[in-house]
Structures are given as C-alpha cells and as structure tokens.
Structure 1
Amino acid sequence: MAVASKRLFIRITLIAVLLYVLGGLGLYFYQEKIIFHPKVLQDDFKFRFNQPFEEITIPVNDHEQLSAVLFKADSAKGIVLYFHGNANNISAYAKYAGNFTRKGYDVLMMDYRGFGKSRGKLTQQGMFDDALVMYRLARKRFEPGQIIIYGKSIGTAVATELASIRDCKRLILETPYYSIPDIAGTYGAVYPLNWILKFPLPTYQYLPKVTAPINIFHGTADDVVPYESGKKLAALFKNPADEFITVPGGKHNDLAGFPVFLEKLDSLLEQ
C-alpha cells in the first residue's frame, strides 16, 4: 500500500512538473499574443478623423516601416509625442488628440510594429528605438522645451524610457505600471517572469533618470493595471514638481471622462 501511494505521489508530481514546464514554455513563446492585441491595417487604408491631420510613413528597410499620424493644432506652440496602449491602433486613440490640439499642441502618434500600418517584428528595444525616431522627427520643428512626452498604459514605459534619454518639457503618464512582472505578480504569477518575459518594460528603472517634471494619472478602480502598481512609481520622484494624481473611481480606459483628469491636464498644457 505504501509503495502504491509513493508511486501515485511520484506520478502526480511528474505530471504537475510537466504541466508547469509546458505552461512556462507557452508563456515564453506566446507572450506577444498575451500582452499585445494589435489591429493590422492594409497599406492602402485611408485614415479619416474629424480634425486636421497628416499621415506619416517612415521606411525602415525594404520590409519594415513606421506609421504615424500628426494631429495638427492651430498655431502650434509645441508637440505631444503620444505612445498608446497595447491594443488596436492609432484609430482607437485619435479621439484623445483633441485634448491637446485645443490647447495649442500638435500630437504625433505612432503605431508600434505590427499595429496599424507599421510593419516589422515587435521587440522591446524596437519600441524604444521607434520612439526615438518620433522624437527626432519632432525636433525638426520644436525645441525640447516644447515637447511633451505622453504615455498611456503599455506606452508609459516607452514614454518614460524616451524621457530618460532625451530632454523634454514634461512627462505625463496615464495608468502606468511599475513593470510587467509587477502587474503579473498581483494576479498570482507562479513563473520567474524576470527570466521569461521578452517585454519586462521596467518603468521603474527609467523613471529616476527623467529630469523633466513628471505627472502620473491613475484611477483607483483600474481593472487592468492595479492602482498600487502605478502608485509605487511615486516613491521614485525626485523633482518637487513631480505629482501623482489619483482619479477616484477611475478605471483603465475612462480617465478622460473624469473632471479631475481633464482639469489637471488642461492646467499642465497651459503652463
């Protein structure tokens, strides 16, 4: 009886280990599909927005290109480099451009590779490199003191990394995260994500290197990026002008509907 029980225990343990390994392999090889949910557009797709805009295509090589849209303000006093979330494409985020153009800022919004009409393999370093391309494009018209770097959701790490290596007027983060492993940890992840993830996106590593004023918006009811993950970034502030703005009841994608968000954003853009 004892021998049979021991064999059963060994069998169950081996099955559990096998399932754990298979789960880890699945996470490693399919993490892009878990983290990112792009909507691809054909090259001949025509954007239509209810505001002045210019479509920009930047060839990288014969097979890769970056797609971006410049939303235009009347007599622009500066530009916002807007790095969007992990789903869809520029079309889903264009509605937010008006928050900036009405305050005199152009908005340059790019799609990550594999999103919209951007082509190429998506990598973490590639996201950072492409953000730098957008910054250089903005610098052709504006000085660093006229450039605001803005990140939303997954784009907050991209925005923060860029602001850590280039000067800007201000860094604004909407629903940011400490890191992807930190988010996963709040949901009870059982894998060594720091070793597995190709997209750790460690915002916390870049934030202390940012010299521009930092403003973070986060809702207390965020059901995607826990409020606590974003709040941890406030402990890394160095500048007296840095500010963490709590939006009571705000979720992940509805902050623009809260007066506290819009009023504070307006005041920042008026400075």
Structure 2
Amino acid sequence: MDPSNSQTSTPKPNPIARTGGRVLRLVLLIYLGICLLLMVMESRLIYIPPPARDAYVEAERLGGEEARFQAEDQTNLHGWYFPKSGSKRAIVYFHGNGEDADQNVDLGAYLRDCLDASILVFDYRGYGHSEGTPDEDGIIGDSVAAQKWLAKQTHLDPSKVILFGRSLGGGVAVAAAEQLGAKALILHSTFANMDDIAASQYPFIPVRWLMRNPFRSLQRMKHFTGPVLQFHGTADELIPIEYARPLYEAVTNKHKKFVEIPGGRHNDPLAANFCEVVNEFLIGIEPSETSK
C-alpha cells in the first residue's frame, strides 16, 4: 500500500472538554464581575449616611452649640458642641457608619452630664451637614480636625482630649489617636481590622487585596501608648467579639480594660452602667496623666 495515499486522521474535538472550557470561562467572568462590583460598591457598603435633618432646636434645648470647622483639605465639617463649664475633660464622639451628629444630640448631652465633660459630636465628610464624600483617608483627616477644634475650645493640648469611637467610629478614633495621641481611647463595638470582617463575609473574594478602606486599627493601635477602655457585646452579630479582642491585646499601656456586655448586640443602646465604668476608668488615669 502506497503510504502517500494514506489519509492522516485529525482527532475530533471532545464536546465535553469544549463545553467544560466554556463553563470555566463563564464562571471566571462571573467571579471577576462580582469582584469588580464589590470594588465599585465598596463605599456604599461601608458608608451609609442617614437622610440629613435639622436638629438645631433640639440641640439648643439641650445646651448644645453648632460647631463648624474645616479639615486640612478645606472640606467644611459640621457638628454639635456641648460645653461643660469648669470641667477639664473633653471628649470627641466618633459615630458609626449608619448614624450622624444630628441623631446624637441626645447622646452628646447625656455624655456631658454623666461624664462631667465637654463633648463634641460631629459628622465625617458626606454625613449630616458636612461636605464631601467619605473615604478612609478623608474621614481620618476629619477626625484630626475635630480633635484639634475641641482642644482649642477647651484650652487643652490635642493629646489631652479623650476619643470615644463606636463601630466604624472606633477605627476612626484609633487612627486619630495614632496621629495626635489622646488622653484615653474609649472603644465600643469596634474591630481590630475592618478587612477581616469583610473577608469573613465574602470568604471566596480576595477582600484584603481589593479593599480601599480596610481600617487596619490593629497596626495603628501598636503606635498609641495611652490608656484604652474597650466595650463589646458577646452577641454582636455584625462584629463578633473575636474580631475585637486582638485590638485590646495590642494595647501596651498598663491602664487598659476590656468590658464584655453579656448578650449585647451591635446596635444596642449604651449599658445602664456605661458612664459609671467610664468614670471609674478615667479617675484611675487622671491623677498620673500617663497618656501621651
């Protein structure tokens, strides 16, 4: 038989392999699409400002004064100031991601009275009556401006102002303390690293590589040498308590305390003994003025 007359047969494509390749490409495209969507939606998932309202009458009734100041980049910021005559304590309250200063005028007056302190509750950029759009670097800059503003009003060095942060506000407060110092940090229902929380919610997404607002408080806490009082509910459904403990463990100051709230959930109101615990803690550090 003449070899030249033989026909070389070409293997036919395996339809199963071809279909599998198409499915794999489709799955990959869907996965990349989800990653891209989460990146685009990140700010909307983290920052959830409530509709702005006017709390002027309520704040005035409670003895509050309007506070207006600017961040270093000239963003105009707004808040409410509750002065306490004769007090040497000054506290900035850093709110969570779904609240604003107008919602916290009652809290500002309450803290002023029960902690015998001048209180500033203010809005990050993009919240309430503050201008701009929120992002991590921007609201950290806002927090530094707020701390400096309150220090000026109360004739204190910024490092002698107490910072109180709740939820997202805890991450903001830790960042401010890293930059300016603080007399003490009071943290409530906050995290060690926000990207750890996000990674637990989206385990199949490389969140730590993609997030632009990771709020890595754990590393920042290592640079703060002052006292820390931390509260956390044992039933917190948004930030489980195991994501909060590493932050406390990173505190180097001997004046530190972790308060578990039995059965406490993320959005519960402050515990009835909150001010009692805070006052006891502050009295313990005030004579020595050990914070920086």
Q: Which runs of 5+ in 1 are unaligned?
A: none
Determine the structure 2 residue equivalent to 1:113: 125
Q: Does residue 154 of structure 1 match 2:168?
A: yes
Give the letter for the 1:111 counterpart: D
Determine the structure 2 residue equivalent to 1:126: 138
Distance 2:206 2:75 in 1: 33
Distance 1:122 1:67 in 2: 14
2:162–2:184 Cα contact (<8 Å) kept: yes
Choose from 106, 118, 123 the match for 1:95.
106
Q: State the Cα distance separating 1:143 from its structure 2 match.
A: 3.5
Determine the structure 2 residue equivalent to 1:242: 256
Determine the structure 1 residue equivalent to 2:89: 78
Larger radius of gyration: 2
Choose from 26, 31, 39 the match for 1:15.
26
Instruction: Say which is worse superposed, 104-113 or 184-193, in terms of deviation.
Output: 184-193
1:151–1:173 Cα contact (<8 Å) kept: yes
Matched position secondary structure for 2:182: coil
Q: Does residue 267 of structure 1 match 2:280?
A: yes
Instruction: Say which is worse superposed, 104-113 or 93-102, in terms of deviation.
Output: 93-102
Matched position secondary structure for 2:66: strand
Determine the structure 2 residue equivalent to 1:31: 42
Choose from 75, 78, 93 the match for 1:67.
78
TM-score using structure 1 length: 0.90
Instruction: Say which is worse superposed, 62-71 or 242-251, in terms of deviation.
Output: 62-71
Distance 1:45 1:247 in 2: 31
Distance 1:139 1:99 in 2: 20
- Residue identity over aligned pairs, in percent, reads 27
2:47–2:98 Cα contact (<8 Å) kept: yes
Aligned length: 269
Q: Which runs of 5+ in 2 are unaligned?
A: 1-11, 285-292
Distance 2:103 2:246 in 1: 28
2:90–2:118 Cα contact (<8 Å) kept: yes
What CA deviation, in whole Å up to 9, does each residue of 1:205-227 have, x standing for no partner? 11111111011100010011111
2:65–2:81 Cα contact (<8 Å) kept: yes
Matched position secondary structure for 1:173: strand
Determine the structure 2 residue equivalent to 1:179: 193
What CA deviation, in whole Å up to 9, does each residue of 1:84-112 have, x standing for no partner? 10013112233322442112101111101
Distance 2:74 2:202 in 1: 40
Moved over 6 A (4+): none
Distance 1:132 1:116 in 2: 18
Choose from 245, 257, 268 the match for 1:231.
245
1:40–1:114 Cα contact (<8 Å) kept: no
CA distance change for structure 1 residues 69 and 226 in 2, over 3 Å: closer, same or farther?
same
1:74–1:104 Cα contact (<8 Å) kept: no
Determine the structure 2 residue equivalent to 1:218: 232
CA distance change for structure 1 residues 100 and 135 in 2, over 3 Å: closer, same or farther?
same
Matched position secondary structure for 1:88: coil
CA distance change for structure 1 residues 92 and 231 in 2, over 3 Å: closer, same or farther?
same
Distance 1:145 1:128 in 2: 16
Distance 2:74 2:17 in 1: 57
Matched position secondary structure for 2:270: helix
CA distance change for structure 1 residues 240 and 88 in 2, over 3 Å: closer, same or farther?
closer
1:154–1:176 Cα contact (<8 Å) kept: yes
Matched position secondary structure for 1:12: helix
Give the letter for the 1:135 counterpart: Q
Q: Does residue 169 of structure 1 match 2:183?
A: yes
Q: Does residue 48 of structure 1 match 2:48?
A: no
Instruction: Say which is worse superposed, 99-108 or 23-32, in terms of deviation.
Output: 99-108
Instruction: Say which is worse superposed, 110-119 or 191-200, in terms of deviation.
Output: 191-200
